[in-house]
Structure formats: C-alpha cells, structure tokens
Structure 1
Amino acid sequence: MNFVMKAALGGAGKDLGNLVGGEKEEDKDPEAEKEKEEERQEALRQQEEERKEKYNKMEQEREKVRQGIRDKYGLKKREVVEAEAAAAAEQEAEGSMTRAKKAVPAGCGDGDEEEEGIMETVMKYLPGPLQDMLKK
C-alpha cells in the first residue's frame, strides 16, 4: 500500500506529511535526538557485551572438548610442547659453535664501567702534540 502511495505521489510524500500536520524537520528537539543517540549507543554496547559473553562461553566449551581429547590420547597443550622444544634446542646448542648468537654477550655493557665520551676516546689514540692542540 505504501509503495502505491509513494509511486502515485512521487517525491511529494514529505510535503504531504507536513501539510496533513506531521512533524516538521525544523521542530525536532535536539535534546530528544541526543537522548535517542545515547539509547542507541547503550543498545550497541549491550549487544557487544552479549556477543563477547556468547563467544567466551563457546570458547570455554571448546576448551573442555579439547582437554577431553588431550586427556584421552595423552597429549600436551601446544604452548607446553613449544616451550619444551625451545628448552631442548637451547640445551643442545649450549656448547655448540653453531648455536644462535645472543644479542649482547655476557659482560658487555653491564654499566659497571664509567662511560667515556667520544672525544676522550679519540684523544687517547692521538699523538701528544695533536692532543695538546685539541685541548686548547
């Protein structure tokens, strides 16, 4: 029915509502719009919380099933297996010359030594007369 009316009137539907006594766009209350927006935001937050709760519940159920399978077949969690593998690799490579290099060798940059500036370091390696010239 609405389609037939819209098709018959064309674009005059908005104007017809105003003529009959409908609410004009200019008469809308900004405070009412603000309240509607707050209600909409609250509804969105509530929907998001419900979605997260549902997801967490499903994930807990999946974890129970996974744990049941692990118990049945004597399997370990992936994180535990990966940690054990990394520890075993480190243990094997302890004395190896091909082991992975550490970022900073032990004893380097411990902070026990007093830091020298670049200028003082360069001055140590310059000949005496040149040092005297640069000190002035």
Structure 2
Amino acid sequence: MLGEKEEKDPDAEKKEEERQEALRQQEEERKAKYAKMEAERESVRQGIRDKYGIKKKEEKEAEAQAAMEQASEGSLTRPKKAVPTGCGDDEDEEESIVDTVMKFLPGPLVDMFNKK
C-alpha cells in the first residue's frame, strides 16, 4: 500500500476531453432548440397582439410613465424629484428673501429702505 503507485489509463484523459466536448455540444444544441422555440412563441404572441390591438408590457409601462410625467408637468403636487434645482427646498441659500425682493423694487423704494 505505501509504495504502490496508481496506474493511470493513458486514454483516460482523452476520453474525459471527448466526454466534456460532447456535454458542451449537447448544451449548445439544447440552448439553440429553446431559443428557436421561444422565437416561434414570440411570433405567435405578436400575431395575437396585432390581431387584438394589445400592447407589450414594456410599451404600456413606457406610455404610463410618459403620461405621468406630462400630467405632473404643471401640477403643484408633482413629485419632489421633478422640481428643478434651485427652486424650493435649498436650506443653504446664499441670498435672503429680502435681498431677492429688493432686486425687483424700483430705485426710489430701494433708497427709501436703505436709509433706515
């Protein structure tokens, strides 16, 4: 037992490579078969969609998203992410509201406020 060496079959490595290649080939054939079946199913599905005027799920979602964005465009209750930057919730604004109002007042009124 201690001094014995296992004798390897010289063709074992070659047989293993052939077996692995056969497995790869079978897997490729299986994938090709299922891809062909899925393509046929999709063509049937598309025929049904065309016949009954049904839209794909992705198309429905895209249209719903576009409609939601269009509806919230002028809405006061639009989502927060739709608010443009620089509008609203900036807590570290550099100008105060008084400074902003002062920009839009006519010159004599600004002078009157500055005198105080």
Q: Alignment partner of 1:49: what SS?
A: helix
1-structure distance, mates of 2:6, 2:57: 63
Mapping for residues 66-85 of structure 1, pairs under 5 Å: 66-85=45-64
Cα distance change on mapping 1:97 and 1:56 into 2, 3 Å:
same
CA RMSD of aligned residues (A): 2.4
Q: CA deviation at 1:49?
A: 0.5
Counterpart residue identity of residue 75, structure 1: I
Query: What aligned pairs does 1:12-51 form with structure 2 within 5 A after superposition?
Result: 26-29=6-9, 31-51=10-30
Q: Where do 1:51-130 residues align within 5 Å?
A: 51-102=30-81, 105-106=84-85
Residue identity (%) = 73
Aligned residue type for 1:27 = E
1:52/1:41 Cα in 2 relative to 1: closer, same or farther (>3 Å)? same
SS of the equivalent of 2:55 reads: coil
Higher helix share: 1
Q: Any runs of at least 4 consecutive aligned residues in structure 1 with deviations exceeding 6 A, and if so which?
A: none
Q: Please, what TM-score do these two structures have when normalized by structure 2?
A: 0.60
The SS at the match of 2:11 is: helix
Query: What SS does structure 2 have at the residue aligned with 1:41?
Result: helix
Task: Please give the per-residue CA displacement for 1:6-63, whole angstroms capped at 9, x wherever unaligned.
Answer: xxxxxxxxxxxxxxxxxxx93333x522222211211111111111101111101101
SS in 2 for 1:27: coil
Distance 2:79 2:16 in 1: 58
